[in-house]
Structure 1
Amino acid sequence: MEYVLGIDLGTSSLKGIVMNQEGSVEETASTNYVTFHPQSGFSEQDPKVWIEAFHEVLTELLAKKPALKENLVGISFSGQMHSLVVLDEQNQVLRNAILWNDVRTTEQTQKITEYFGDELLKITKNIALEGFTLPKILWIQEHEPDAWLKVRHLLLPKDYLNYHLTDKITTDYSDVAGTLLLDMQKKEWSTEILKEFNIPREYLPDLKESNDQTGILNHEIKQKYGFEREIKVFAGGADNACGAAASGIFDEEMAMLSIGTSGVFLSFEKNVTSDYNGKLHLFSHVFKNGYYSMGVTLAAGDSLSWYKNTFAIDSTFDELISEIPTSSEGLYFTPYISGERTPYADSKIRGSFIGIDTRHQRGHFTRAVLEGIVYSLKDIQVLMRNVSKKSFTKIVSVGGGAKSSSWLQIQADILNIPIVCLKTEMGPGFGAAMIAAVGIGWYDSIIDCGEKIIEYTEPIYPIEENVKRYKKLYSIYQQIYPATRSICHMSRN
Structure 2
Amino acid sequence: MYHLGIDLGSSSVKIALVDAESGKKIISLHEPPNEMEILAINPDWAEQDPNMWWMHVCNAIKRVTVEAKVNLSEIKNIGISYQMHGLVVVDEKGDPLRNSIIWCDSRAVEIGRQALKDLGEAFCGKHMLNAPGNFTASKLKWVIDNEPDIYKNTYKFMLPGDFIAYKLTGKMATTKNGLSEGILWDYKQDDVATGLLDYYGINKDLVPEIVENFANQGTVNAQASKDTGLPLGVQVTYRSGDQPNNALSLNIFNPGEVAATGGTSGVVYAVSNNLEPQEISKVNHFAHVNYTNSEPVIGTLLNINGAGIQYRWLRNNCGNDSYETMNSKASEVAVGANGVVIIPFGNGAERMLENKNVGTHILNLNLNLHNNAHLYRAALEGIAFSFVYGVDILKKDTGELKVIRAGNDNLFRSEIFSNTVATLINQDIEIYNTTGAVGAARAAGLTDGDFEKFGENITKNDHVMTYKPLPDKAEYEAAYATWKKELEMILKHK
- TM-score, normalised via structure 2 length: 0.91
Q: What is the Cα deviation at residue 486 of structure 1?
A: 4.8
Q: What is the Cα deviation at residue 472 of structure 1?
A: 2.4
Taking the TM superposition and a 5 Å limit, the aligned residue runs for 1:288-437 are: 288-289=291-292, 290-313=297-320, 315-324=321-330, 325-327=333-335, 328-357=337-366, 358-396=368-406, 398-422=408-432, 424-426=433-435, 428-437=436-445
SS of the residue 2:445 aligns to? helix
Q: What is the Cα deviation at residue 347 of structure 1?
A: 3.1
8 A contact 1:337–1:350 mirrored in 2:
yes
Instruction: Identify if the C-alpha distance between structure 1 residues 312 and 486 changes in structure 2 by more than 3 Å, giving closer, same or farther.
Output: farther
8 A contact 1:255–1:268 mirrored in 2:
yes
Quick one: which of 470, 481, 486 aligns to 1:463? 470
**Alignment partner of 1:127 is 2:131:** yes
Quick one: which of 43, 50, 53 aligns to 2:46? 43
Q: What is the Cα deviation at residue 68 of structure 1?
A: 3.6
Partner of 2:22: 22
**C-alpha deviations, 1:302-335, integer Å up to 9, x for none?**
111112212232x111111101113211221111
Q: Distance in 2 between matches of 1:183 and 1:113?
A: 15
Instruction: Identify if the C-alpha distance between structure 1 residues 110 and 160 changes in structure 2 by more than 3 Å, giving closer, same or farther.
Output: same
Q: Distance in 2 between matches of 1:175 and 1:3?
A: 25
Q: Distance in 2 between matches of 1:288 and 1:388?
A: 16
8 A contact 1:171–1:235 mirrored in 2:
no
Instruction: Identify if the C-alpha distance between structure 1 residues 58 and 228 changes in structure 2 by more than 3 Å, giving closer, same or farther.
Output: closer
Q: What is the Cα deviation at residue 260 of structure 1?
A: 0.8
Q: What is the Cα deviation at residue 267 of structure 1?
A: 1.0
- Deviation larger for 11-20 or 429-438: 429-438
**Alignment partner of 1:286 is 2:286:** no
Instruction: Identify if the C-alpha distance between structure 1 residues 220 and 91 changes in structure 2 by more than 3 Å, giving closer, same or farther.
Output: closer
Partner of 1:86: 89
Instruction: Identify if the C-alpha distance between structure 1 residues 483 and 242 changes in structure 2 by more than 3 Å, giving closer, same or farther.
Output: same
Q: What is the Cα deviation at residue 186 of structure 1?
A: 3.1
**Alignment partner of 1:451 is 2:437:** no
SS of the residue 1:278 aligns to? coil
Q: Distance in 2 between matches of 1:208 and 1:271?
A: 24
**C-alpha deviations, 1:53-86, integer Å up to 9, x for none?**
1110111011113324120010110011111101
SS of the residue 1:335 aligns to? strand
SS of the residue 2:289 aligns to? coil
Quick one: which of 198, 212, 235 aligns to 2:201? 198
SS of the residue 1:396 aligns to? strand
**C-alpha deviations, 1:413-456, integer Å up to 9, x for none?**
2332222210x222x222211221113x5xx4344312223431
SS of the residue 1:74 aligns to? strand
Q: Distance in 2 between matches of 1:219 and 1:103?
A: 38
- Deviation larger for 51-60 or 341-350: 341-350
The one-letter amino acid of 1:333's match is I
SS of the residue 1:241 aligns to? helix
The one-letter amino acid of 1:431's match is G
Q: Distance in 1 between matches of 2:87 and 2:11?
A: 16
**Alignment partner of 1:258 is 2:261:** yes
Q: Distance in 1 between matches of 2:396 and 2:229?
A: 56
The one-letter amino acid of 2:400's match is K
Q: What is the Cα deviation at residue 229 of structure 1?
A: 6.8
8 A contact 1:333–1:354 mirrored in 2:
yes
SS of the residue 1:213 aligns to? coil
The one-letter amino acid of 1:141's match is I
Q: Distance in 1 between matches of 2:357 and 2:68?
A: 48
Q: Distance in 2 between matches of 1:156 and 1:122?
A: 24
Unpaired segments of 5 or more residues in structure 2?
none
Instruction: Identify if the C-alpha distance between structure 1 residues 242 and 205 changes in structure 2 by more than 3 Å, giving closer, same or farther.
Output: same
Q: What is the Cα deviation at residue 89 of structure 1?
A: 2.4
8 A contact 1:395–1:417 mirrored in 2:
no
Q: Distance in 1 between matches of 2:324 and 2:375?
A: 15
SS of the residue 2:217 aligns to? strand
- TM-score, normalised via structure 1 length: 0.92
**C-alpha deviations, 1:80-136, integer Å up to 9, x for none?**
111110111222211111111111223322332232122223223411222x11121
8 A contact 1:284–1:291 mirrored in 2:
yes
8 A contact 2:169–2:218 mirrored in 1:
yes
8 A contact 2:259–2:405 mirrored in 1:
yes
Q: Distance in 2 between matches of 1:58 and 1:343?
A: 37
The one-letter amino acid of 2:442's match is M
Instruction: Identify if the C-alpha distance between structure 1 residues 391 and 293 changes in structure 2 by more than 3 Å, giving closer, same or farther.
Output: same
Q: Distance in 1 between matches of 2:407 and 2:234?
A: 34
Q: Distance in 2 between matches of 1:154 and 1:117?
A: 26
Q: CA RMSD in A?
A: 2.0
Unpaired segments of 5 or more residues in structure 1?
none
Taking the TM superposition and a 5 Å limit, the aligned residue runs for 1:154-303 are: 154-222=157-225, 227=230, 230-289=233-292, 290-303=297-310
Pairs aligned (count): 479
Instruction: Identify if the C-alpha distance between structure 1 residues 414 and 436 changes in structure 2 by more than 3 Å, giving closer, same or farther.
Output: same
The one-letter amino acid of 1:409's match is N
Q: What is the Cα deviation at residue 362 of structure 1?
A: 1.5
Q: Distance in 2 between matches of 1:375 and 1:174?
A: 30
Instruction: Identify if the C-alpha distance between structure 1 residues 340 and 274 changes in structure 2 by more than 3 Å, giving closer, same or farther.
Output: same
Instruction: Identify if the C-alpha distance between structure 1 residues 200 and 447 changes in structure 2 by more than 3 Å, giving closer, same or farther.
Output: farther
The one-letter amino acid of 1:272's match is L
- Deviation larger for 243-252 or 9-18: 243-252
The one-letter amino acid of 2:323's match is F
Instruction: Identify if the C-alpha distance between structure 1 residues 391 and 28 changes in structure 2 by more than 3 Å, giving closer, same or farther.
Output: closer
Instruction: Identify if the C-alpha distance between structure 1 residues 69 and 359 changes in structure 2 by more than 3 Å, giving closer, same or farther.
Output: same
The one-letter amino acid of 2:382's match is G
Which aligned segments of 4 or more residues in structure 1 are displaced greater than 4 angstroms? 223-229
8 A contact 1:266–1:294 mirrored in 2:
yes
Partner of 1:6: 5
- Deviation larger for 467-476 or 146-155: 467-476
Instruction: Identify if the C-alpha distance between structure 1 residues 49 and 224 changes in structure 2 by more than 3 Å, giving closer, same or farther.
Output: closer
Q: What is the Cα deviation at residue 268 of structure 1?
A: 1.2
8 A contact 1:210–1:435 mirrored in 2:
no
Partner of 2:31: 31
